[in-house]
Amino acid sequence: MTSKKTRLLLSLYQNKLFLVIETGFLILFPLFLLQFKPELLYLRKLVMLFSLLYIWFVMKTQEISLRRIGLTTKNLVDSFKPLFIVIILVAISVALFISFNLHSHFLFIEQVANETQYKPLFVILLGTLLSAFLQEIIFRGYYISRLELISKNRFFLTLWPTIIFSLIHIPFNNITLVIFTFILGVIYANNFLKYRNLISLIISHAILIAILLLQMSLIW
């Protein structure tokens, strides 16, 4: 791609209005569509896979490296240490919900349960890892790097992807999940900005999904 086209695309991605349009088309419109076609929610992993094509295009044209989106072993251990604390706190919280028999009211997600209830364990584990990988690539690694083309403001880089990350969980019809993903989004965004390591986030995210599935298995 010529430097002229590269500069043109850069000016486009640096435009705040284009960010709003892009967000509306890629995020808000699908959420609106799900209100009328909730069954499409089961295709979310496929949609995220296809979104990698758009991510690849932006990364290629804007010269965003894999290291920049956090696919590196640098700072892996340092990045995971605070995330391990998050995992422990979530595990304790879930245990408390279970002990008071509240998990079926606050932590049960019908769509996820229907998808995984009768599947073999290795399929569930593979799906968990794939889901964590795709979400972290999209909402932390790529999205924050893409937003840095517009601004270096840490508050903006934390809040914008966190709101989007939380919004995409609304179709699951579980307010606990929406609140939790917002809090998690803030923690993960700050962790990424500090350590620039996506692998630790993927591992942590996969473990949290596994904990969620484990507690739901007690309800099945």
Give the mean pLDDT of 84-110: 82
Quote the crossing angle between the two packed helices 16-23 and 3-13, to the nearest 10°. 70
Domain boundaries, the chain: 66-217
DSSP letter for 68, please.
T
DSSP letter for 8, please.
H
What distances in angstroms separate CA 25 from CA 19, 59, 109, 151, one per listed residue? 10, 19, 26, 21
Its pTM stands at: 0.89
Q: Which residues contact 55 (CB under 8 A, 6 or more apart)?
A: 137, 138, 142
pLDDT at 193: 98
Per DSSP, the residues of 113-164 read HHHHTTS-HHHHHHHHHHHHHHHHIIIIIIHHHHHTTT---HHHHHHHHHHH
Give the mean pLDDT of 144-163: 96
CA dist., res. 124 & res. 101, Å (int)? 25
Give the mean pLDDT of 28-43: 79
Residues of the chain above pLDDT 70, percent: 90
CA dist., res. 170 & res. 165, Å (int)? 10
- Nearest residue to 143 (alpha-carbon basis) of 127, 126, 163, 172: 163
Instruction: Name the least confident of 111-115, 183-187, 202-206, 208-212.
Output: 111-115
Helix or strand (DSSP H, E) at 72? none
pLDDT above 80 (res 74): yes
Per DSSP, the residues of 172-206 read G--HHHHHHHHHHHHHHHHHHHHH--HHHHHHHHH
CA dist., res. 4 & res. 30, Å (int)? 33
pLDDT tens digit sequence for 103-141: 666 666 777 766 666 667 766 777 788 889 999 999 999
pLDDT above 60 (res 220): no
Residue 218 pLDDT level (bands cut at 50, 70, 90): low
Left, alpha or beta for 202 (phi > 0: left; psi -120 to 50: alpha)? alpha
